[in-house]
Structure 1
């Protein structure tokens, strides 16, 4: 997320593989790597969300696993969605 330009960047994908857990990979095509312009009102919401994430990260210290996700679990790991 770039608050100066009001954009978010798509740089990786997350896959959940049976028996292997989560893996991060490059997007399938160059076109998939992109920046998306975010309206100012949404950027404000994302900034507040990020602030809360940082507070939580500080509280957890070394137990927090930073993967650079926008919507991780409270400990930073990818959200495990039911299949």
Structure 2
């Protein structure tokens, strides 16, 4: 079964690794294999927890705005179709 870790957890794992804890102990403690370490490090390279949370909030806001834009575009298409039908 594949586990999903959020950014704060991954950053915590990497900080523990940087603090000197061995990779095998860290992997066993948190339940991921050592092959995943490279992927985790690339995903959160240099991020702090507060920065990762801010990035996540920005991503959610961006998705919300994209959804609103999509709704507006659909509405414009419906209005244009209605105007064409009237003419």
Same fold at TM > 0.5: no
Q: Identify the structure with bigger relative contact order (alpha carbons < 8 Å, sequence gap 6+).
A: 2
Instruction: Give the number of the structure whose residues are more often helix, by fraction.
Output: 2
Larger Rg: 2
What TM-score do you get using the length of structure 2 for normalisation? 0.30
Tell me the TM-score normalised to structure 1 length. 0.31
